[in-house]
């Protein structure tokens, strides 16, 4: 939906959605909206902005967030009987294929229901959205595993029509903790996945919620590791065989130490790329050696540096490279780390006078950076247009 809708009331939002769908269909005769007539679908097709990646209709992902703000009265009636007719099925396929939001689909159903009373009122009923999940209890919270194959199933099914008998994918994983509220310690620990080169949006594979991070690493990763093992020899979708390997696990330093079962980044032997023990200087751990021996995937699996390992990581049971498969976290290390520190020293109050730069120089650099940003955006747009 458009950005302007974020600040309006729910009733107004609903009216706007209904109005927009009405506009889509104003040129159509009501009687023309039928399964046999593809005109309506073709017209709507141009209005739908396809999402970066099509999720399964029952994924419970971002579309559900929108639905929460739509209308609380629109409860999902799982028991509602939808006649097995072509119109409902076609609408379901169309909405899934184009990633139509639940708000737009519900508004469309409101209109169509006048002419086709058997259609459900709510989009989630039409899409048969799964609303009940068997949430598992872990030691320190609740956990639900959505699954890699399940979350990417729609994508794989679409691909079966265009790929050869076999096809390989690389999966990027992301694991991190994020606080839910400022006033409490409740936090989410999602496991996200993205198919390298195919999807632009990460997909939720698993979600943990608790008052602290998962106490048991093996319980937290158990389902993921089991599925990765089961997919190691490939899996079949519509007669085509797909192979999926994890290319990288992207985490910030604390999450990386957690999932690898190693010392924290601020501890002795905490560097996960080299074996130098570290030196404690000015209340912080430093790793000053530039030519220390590097850790390798093999040396990690053999736990050659005992001071580095705290516990066994379930990822060791998979083909994920335990050193090269855990890249440095660019955002925290460079953007929010080194660069912010340098900027503080150059223009902030904490820098020494001899390292600070004048306000004239700051303005000059700032102007050049702004100009570069414009140039970058221009190149980006030209690249997209090409």
Nearest CB to Zn ion, comparing residues 159 and 274: 274
Given the complex with Zn ion, which of 199 and 269 has the nearer CB atom?
A: 269
CB of 344 to Zn ion, least distance (A): 24
Q: Kindly give the residue spans of alpha helices, DSSP state H, lying in the chain.
A: 10-25, 39-47, 62-68, 86-98, 102-115, 123-126, 148-151, 153-159, 217-230, 253-260, 297-301, 330, 339-347, 359-385
Distance of closest approach, residue 295 Cβ to Zn ion, in angstroms: 8
Our CB check for Zn ion shows the closer of 274 and 345 to be 274
Residue where the block lists tokens 């039409």 = 126
- Minimum distance of Zn ion from residue 276's CB (angstroms): 6
Q: How far apart are CA 1 and CA 13, in angstroms?
A: 10
Question: Judged by CB, which is closer to Zn ion: 125, or 276?
Answer: 276
Q: Give the C-alpha separation, 165 to 171, whole Å.
A: 20
Show the CA angle centred on residue 49, arms to residues 47 and 52, nearest 5°.
165
**CB 267, min distance to Zn ion, A:** 13
What is the C-alpha to C-alpha distance for residues 276 and 290, in angstroms, rounded to an integer?
9
Cα angle 249, 253, 256 (rounded to 5 degrees) comes to 40
For residue 372, the SS3 value is helix
Query: Of the two residues 8 and 338, which places its CB atom closer to Zn ion in the complex?
Result: 338
Please give the structure tokens belonging to residue 242: 């797909």
The angle that helices 86-98 and 102-115 make with each other, rounded to 10 degrees, is: 160
Distance CA 235, CA 240 (A): 8
Q: Cα dist. 350→269, 333, 346, 366 in Å?
A: 30, 20, 9, 20
- For residue 173, which of 120, 244, 108 has the smallest C-alpha distance? 244
Nearer to Zn ion, 163 or 274 (CB): 274
Taking the complex as a whole, the smallest distance from the CB of residue 105 to Zn ion amounts, in Å, to: 52
**Measured from the CB atom, is 159 or 292 closer to Zn ion?**
292
The least distance separating Zn ion from the CB of residue 324, rounded to whole angstroms, comes to: 14
Query: Considering the complex, what minimum distance in angstroms separates the CB of residue 178 from Zn ion?
Result: 27
Q: Would you call 174 exposed, middle or buried from its count of C-beta atoms within 10 A (0-12, 13-18, 19+)?
A: middle
Residue that has been written with the tokens 């609380």 in this structure: 72
Least separation in angstroms between residue 283's CB and Zn ion is 20
- In the complex with Zn ion, the residue whose CB is nearer, 225 or 271, is 271
Between 188 and 287, name the residue whose CB sits nearer to Zn ion.
287
Smallest gap from Cβ 246 to Zn ion, in A, equals 23
Q: Of the candidates 256, 261, 262, which has an alpha carbon nearest to the alpha carbon of residue 275?
A: 262
Which residues lie near Zn ion (CB under 5 A)? 271, 273-274, 287
Q: Which pair of tokens denotes residue 287? A: 């790793």
């Amino acid at each position: 939906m458009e950005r302007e809708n974020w600040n309006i009331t729910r009733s107004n939002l609903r009216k706007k959605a209904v109005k927009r769908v009405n506009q889509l269909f104003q040129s159509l005769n009501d009687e023309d909206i039928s399964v046999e007539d593809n005109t309506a679908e073709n017209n709507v097709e141009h209005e739908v902005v396809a999402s970066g990646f099509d999720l399964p209709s029952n994924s419970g992902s971002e579309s559900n967030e929108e639905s929460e703000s739509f209308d609380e009265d629109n409860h999902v009636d799982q028991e509602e009987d939808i006649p097995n007719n072509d119109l409902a099925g076609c609408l379901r396929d169309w909405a899934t294929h184009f990633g139509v939001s639940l708000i737009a689909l519900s508004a469309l159903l409101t209109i169509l229901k006048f002419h086709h009373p058997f259609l459900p009122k709510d989009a989630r009923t039409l899409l048969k959205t799964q609303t009940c999940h068997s949430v598992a209890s872990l030691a320190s919270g609740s956990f639900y595993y959505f699954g890699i194959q399940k979350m990417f199933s729609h994508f794989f099914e679409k691909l079966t029509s265009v790929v050869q008998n076999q096809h390989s994918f690389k999966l990027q994983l992301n694991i991190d903790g994020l606080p839910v509220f400022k006033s409490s310690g409740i936090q989410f620990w999602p496991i996200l996945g993205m198919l390298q080169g195919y999807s632009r949006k990460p997909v939720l594979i698993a979600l943990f919620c608790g008052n602290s991070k998962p106490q048991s690493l093996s319980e937290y990763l158990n389902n993921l590791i089991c599925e990765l093992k089961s997919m190691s020899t490939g899996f079949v979708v519509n007669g085509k065989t797909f192979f999926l390997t994890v290319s990288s696990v992207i985490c910030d330093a604390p999450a990386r130490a957690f999932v690898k079962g190693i010392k924290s980044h601020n501890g002795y032997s905490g560097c996960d790329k080299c074996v130098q023990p570290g030196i404690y200087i000015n209340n912080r751990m430093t790793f000053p050696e530039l030519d220390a021996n590097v850790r390798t995937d093999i040396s990690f699996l053999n736990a050659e540096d005992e001071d580095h390992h705290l516990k066994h990581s379930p990822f060791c049971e998979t083909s994920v490279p335990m050193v090269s498969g855990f890249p440095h976290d660019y955002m925290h290390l460079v953007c929010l780390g080194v660069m912010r520190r340098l900027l503080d020293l150059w223009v902030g109050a904490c820098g020494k006078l001899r390292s600070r730069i004048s306000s004239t120089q700051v303005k000059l650099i700032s102007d050049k950076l702004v100009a570069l940003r414009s140039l970058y955006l221009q190149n980006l747009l030209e690249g997209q247009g090409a």
